[in-house]
Amino acid sequence: MTVKSLLPLIAATFVCGGSVLVEARQPKHPVAVVKPKVSQPVQPKWKLFTAPDGRFTILMPGNPSRNTESQKTYMGEITLEIFAAQPPKQEVAYIVAYNDFPYSYGQMADPQAVLNNARDMALKTTKSNLISQRNIRSYNNHPGKEIEYINSGGKITKSRMYVAEGRLYQVMAITTKKQQKTLAKTINGYLNSFHVVLKK
């Protein structure tokens, strides 16, 4: 696999890296007697998102934005589909990306080799260090891999990748060390909600 065939990972870092995050602090000695109203972070409404082609479902915080790119690779032209949601006032991005392999490659490729290549490319393109990894399976038994890694800027990505019916899915949550502690349950719930829908 080439760098171009794994652009969802690169795009994912841009989603997080492009946002400006400001932390508000209360003054130590308030001068006003009336306490100012502090705006609480808006809690996004999580809802079930179904892919336009009906091939996967996942819980997302609101409607994700969609980005489609075509890349030329040694296997031929590959279309990348990226769905991303970033709740307001939270240092986190939720991303689902996938690409279909040409039929002949999808039939021949070893799923574990595809997953290992995707892992290696994720670490290389984001210049990250691997924290943990484990082999997993989707609820309908497709092979997968869960990896967690951190880049030099301190951004932590938890990703689950699956190979299913000639397609590589990447389900990611990218956040900061600080937010990861408070969002750990939410991120796991998000990752657990992903389901591959089998072709009829």
The CA distance from 55 to 50, in Å, is 8
Write down the residue that tokens 């932390």 correspond to: 23
Kindly state the helix (H) or strand (E) to which residue 29 belongs, with its residue range.
Answer: none
Q: Which two tokens stand for residue 96?
A: 């689902």
Which segments of the chain have a pLDDT < 50?
Answer: 1-41
pLDDT given for residue 200 in this prediction = 67
pLDDT given for residue 59 in this prediction = 96
User: What backbone phi and psi angles, to 5 degrees, belong to 195?
Assistant: -135, 130
pLDDT given for residue 145 in this prediction = 97
pLDDT given for residue 121 in this prediction = 87
Q: How many residues does the chain have?
A: 200
pLDDT given for residue 154 in this prediction = 92
Helices assigned H by DSSP within 31-82: none
Residue 121 in 3-state DSSP?
A: helix
- Of 110, 119, 111, which is closest to residue 143 (Cα–Cα)? 111
The CA distance from 100 to 19, in Å, is 29
pLDDT given for residue 115 in this prediction = 93
pLDDT given for residue 106 in this prediction = 61
For all residues of the chain together, what is the average pLDDT? 79
